[in-house]
Amino acid sequence: MKLKKNNLVGNSLINEHLKQIRSFQKKPPKLLINKEYDEFALSIIKKLNDANFNAYLVGGCIRDNIVGIAVKDFDIATDATPEQIRKLFKASRIIGKRFKLVHVYKKNKVIEVSTFRSESANTENNQQIVKDASGKILRDNVWGSINDDCHRRDFTINAIYFNPISHELFDKHNGISDVYDKRIVSIGDPLLRFEEDPVRSLRAIRFASKLGFKIENKLKDAIYLKGHLLTHVSNARRFDEFNKIFLTGNGYKNFCKLKSFGILKYLVHPNQSEFGTLLEEHALKNTDYRVKEKKSVTPGFLLSALLWPRVIERSKIKNKVVFKKFNSAMGLILNEQLSLTAIPRSFHTYIKDIWKLQFKLERRTKFEPFKVLQHPRFRAAYDLLLLRESATSDDSDIGKWWTKFQASSRKTKILMLDDLKKNKSEVKKFGFSEELG
What backbone torsions phi and psi does residue 203 show, to the nearest 5 degrees? -65, -40
Q: End-to-end distance of the chain based on CA atoms, in angstroms?
A: 69
154 is catalytic: yes
Please tell me the distance from the alpha carbon of residue 258 to that of residue 223, in angstroms, as a whole number. 10
Measured CA distances, 138 to 30, 150, 193, 197 (Å) = 39, 19, 14, 9
Ramachandran angles phi, psi of 73, nearest 5°: -120, 135
Catalytic residue among 154, 171, 197, 288: 154
Burial tier of 416 (Cβ tally within 10 Å: 0-12, 13-18, 19+): middle
Q: Is residue 75 annotated as part of the catalytic site, yes or no?
A: yes
Q: Is 288 a catalytic residue?
A: no
CB burial of residue 251 (10 Å; 0-12, 13-18, 19+): buried
Alpha carbon distances (Å) from 407 to 170, 380, 402, 411: 58, 16, 9, 12
Whole-angstrom distance, CA of residue 265 vs CA of residue 308: 16
180, 150 Cβ separation under 8 angstroms: no
Which residue among the candidates 73, 181, 221, 419 is catalytic per the annotation?
73
Residues taking part in catalysis: 73, 75, 154
